[in-house]
Chain A
Amino acid sequence: MTGLHHAIWLPLSVFFYAMVMLYWVRVSIAGNRGADGFFSASHGLPPWLGALVTAGVSLTGWFVLGGTQLVARDGFTLPVLVSAGVLLALPGVIFFKRLWFAAERLHVSSLADVFRLYYGSPFLVVVTTAIAVLFALGFSGLQVRMLSGLVEAMTGGAVSELAATTIFGFILFAGVGIGGMRSIGYFGVIQTVLVLSAIVFVAGFAVVSAGGFEPVNARLLALSLQPETARLFSVGKVIEFTAGLGRGGDYATSHTALANLSLAFALMGFQASPLVFKILFSTRRPSGVAAGQIWVTAGFLGALIAGGIMLTGAVGLVDDGFSIVTLFQGLHDRSPWFAAWMFIGVAAGVQLLAGLSLFAAAEGLVRHVYRPYFHSALSKAATVTITRIAIAILAVLAMILQTIAPVTLSALAALALPLAFQLWTPLLGVSWLGWITRQAAATGVGFGIAGVLLTEPLGYQVLSFFGLELPWGRWPWTIHSALWGMAANLAAVLIISAITNRTVVRQEAAEIRALFSGLLAISPKARDWRSFAWSIVIAWFFLAAGPGLIFGNTAFVSGEGETTAWLLGMPSLWAWGIAGWVSGLGMIWFLAYRMEMANPSQAVIPAYTPPLKLRRNNTEIEQERLRILFMAGAIVFVLAVLAAFIFSR
């Protein structure tokens, strides 16, 4: 085979991919009518499209690039990953239906808007926007960096990581900046099917290159019998009381049952993020929520994770020289067309997430922060233009971070999921728990953020920079920051809701409560099932994600020592995880349909019309606000420099 054969397929595929994307951008522009079309596709995306793209964006790229590495390095000590499909889908089952109707009633198209109208809290609006920015710069940025590294490896350095990052940045801006939400939705369908098929093929090639499943399994069994690697096949303890990683905590023993449980909570943060709600609020009906969450996300994507991703990781576990990068390198040498096609699939998954997060972040900064608080006279057309500029700036910023500050990038990426999980309390307040007050929701999220920051590297490194050394490191007591944050968050919410006046609510909140207790009220039949539902959810979390994982260590093992055998022909914890995934599928089906949390509803909700108010000219106030912001920023910067100069070591 000539060198040209190898060189041509990857650029050809990227070119073809970009052409198809531009075609759909063109279709989207033709369909957009004004600013509403750009930001929410005029609420016209079909339900099946919303369901499919939600599954596609749900960490598919991360699972291929990061999840496989995690299994290859840590074995089956994080079995909660096997049932990740259920964990990813669960928040959607709980929130999507009610939040869609709330957004429809209030006639808004983003999570920040829902919080602004329901709670009237600028803090929650800013936090929601900040989380979207974190996903855009950190979480997606890290994946784009890995993807660029893959390109460099595949082309033998002919295309540098920087060049690949720049090309991806341009493609991202072209897709998202020009076409807006409609373009993300339309092209997202193609990206989703590409990434899902890429996962299947990556797993297939990994197994074929390892000689089939039987040899892989035999080598896994041999590894599990060696004393030095046996720990990779069991969850050691329920909890380990260490000060955390970086403060004496041992990484090898850090994957306890509680580490698994808290990681499960972090995964559940994704569908509580403002990104996914952009897709949800852009669909014309919520009728695809239940089917999409159960069968597409938990079912199909869950099967790909439990099978394909774990299999690819298992091949990496038994073969030290194997990784996604070496797989693609080898494939590129043997079958450049397959390597190019599968690369496009993985890239599509990453681009879908990166594009959506860039869009949500830019929209948040311009439409939810800048426009309402600093420039309310901004026209809709100008808002679209400034959002496009913000997308370009964020894309460039992400590229810079990916290239010159990878450590900061990792630290920022680690915050995205646990911080998004902190939005569970205000989301519960809107959808199910009407007694959560505005003060409680905002303070709870604030405490949650503090809890996350203080147990993640970014937080304690910033404090260390100012001379304050925390006595703990990352994830003390082997508990992920998502759970530390939620513990603080929940405590604050419960206490503050108890001591604040729960009868004083905004008019918009009263409208939503009336809607949920009227048209969308749960039937008495479903109410009768409530205690049973709580029981199965708690039991499932205990067995599939929590302390019950300890049972999985030996549940499907017979014999001891040399006579050890795996009853289901695979590591016991893997089989336990698959059992968790299957039972979890039943659990979310039960919650969605029997408990009526996400079942289709044909209720027609008229948009809420707020009482007419005289519009005031806020120009002076807004300019003053902007001045204060700059002054405060400058003062904080000077104080930070002084504090670092005086106290840091």
Chain B
Amino acid sequence: MSKPARVERDLLVFSIWAVLGSGGLCFLLEGFSRDSYLLSLIGIAAIVASFVAHFIVNGIFGVGFGPGEAALGIGVFGVILMVFIGGWAIGALSESDYWSGLTLFAVLALGLPVYLSTRYGLRGAFSHFHVRHADFEDSDQ
């Protein structure tokens, strides 16, 4: 991908997350703060919409997630998971918080194979995880 195209794609990705991602996070926090599962769901829907929009932009420009993006995504996912587990461990979660968190993780966890299968096909997605020894041997030769 040419440099100007890369810049345009990055601008679109930043814009998507600035609006949908940040807005979703605000709704999610509002849901946790007010113990409102509905508000949390709106937040989760906005975050999912951000991912979908991100996929569409990637599709238009014919690229996948960059290494930095993948690292950031996995890192944020890990941090949120740790905070959730910590909150659960000290008993700081209400029932609504608990269900909101579970819904978020379920959606994100489900989203990964769905994304991979839409991008690489079912078999191709599986191959991304299942690396055969023969592949290594071929590459060694």
Contact = CB atoms under 8 A, between A and B. Distances in A.
Given A335-B26, A337-B30, A338-B26, A194 B7 contact: no
A194 B18 CA distance: 7
A46 B5 CA distance: 10
B22 A31 contact: no
B33 A1 contact: yes
B29 interface: yes
B11 A194 contact: no
Nearest to B14: A190
Contact of B19 (A27, A31, A44, A193): A193
B11 A341 contact: no
A341 B14 contact: no
Interface string A14-32: 0000001000100100010
A335 B19 contact: no
Interface residues of B, number: 17
Contacts of A166: none
A335 B39 CA distance: 13
A27 B7 CA distance: 8
Contacts of A520: none
A395 to B, nearest CB: 24
A565 interface: no
B3 to A, nearest CB: 7
Contacts of B26: 335, 337-338, 341
B14 A20 contact: yes
Contacts of A24: 14
User: Mostly helix, strand, loop or mixed at chain B's interface?
Assistant: helix
B4 A46 contact: yes
A197 B15 CA distance: 11
A10 to B, nearest CB: 13
A46 B23 CA distance: 27
B19 A46 contact: no
B23 A31 contact: no
A49 interface: yes
A201 B20 CA distance: 12
Interface in B1-56: 3-4, 7-8, 10-11, 14-15, 18-19, 22-23, 25-26, 29-30, 33
Contact of B18 (A27, A186, A193, A335): A193
Contacts of A1: 33
Interface string A446-462: 00000000000000000
A189 interface: yes
Given A27-B7, A31-B3, A337 B25 contact: yes
A197 B22 CA distance: 11
Contacts, number: 43
B121 to A, nearest CB: 31
Nearest to A182: B7
B18 A190 contact: yes
Contacts of A46: 4, 8
A16 to B, nearest CB: 9
B66 to A, nearest CB: 14
Nearest to B20: A197
Contact of B15 (A31, A190, A201, A341): A190
A187 B4 CA distance: 15
A338 B29 CA distance: 9
A193 B21 CA distance: 12
Contacts of A44: 4
A189 B11 contact: yes
Contacts of A20: 14, 18
Given A189-B15, A190-B14, A193-B15, A341 B7 contact: no
Nearest to B6: A27
Contacts of B33: 1, 335
Contacts of B19: 193-194, 197
A46 to B, nearest CB: 6
A197 B8 contact: no
Interface string B99-120: 0000000000000000000000
Contacts of B3: 31
A89 to B, nearest CB: 21
Most chain-B CB neighbours within 10 Å: which of A20, A201, A341? A341
A33 B77 CA distance: 39
Interface in A37-61: 44, 46, 49
Given A1-B33, A49-B11, A190-B15, 19 more contacts: A20-B18, A27-B7, A31-B3, A44-B4, A49-B8, A186-B7, A189-B11, A189-B14, A189-B15, A190-B11, A190-B14, A193-B18, A193-B19, A194-B18, A194-B19, A197-B23, A335-B26, A335-B33, A341-B23
Interface of A: 1, 20, 24, 27, 31, 44, 46, 49, 186, 189-190, 193-194, 197, 201, 335, 337-338, 341
26 contacts: A1-B33, A20-B14, A20-B18, A24-B14, A49-B8, A49-B11, A186-B7, A186-B11, A189-B11, A190-B11, A190-B14, A190-B15, A190-B18, A193-B18, A193-B19, A197-B23, A201-B23, A335-B26, A335-B29, A335-B30, A337-B25, A337-B26, A337-B29, A337-B30, A341-B22, A341-B23
List of 9 A-B pairs having minimum Cβ-Cβ separation, nearest first: A193-B15, A197-B19, A337-B26, A189-B11, A337-B29, A338-B26, A193-B19, A190-B14, A341-B26
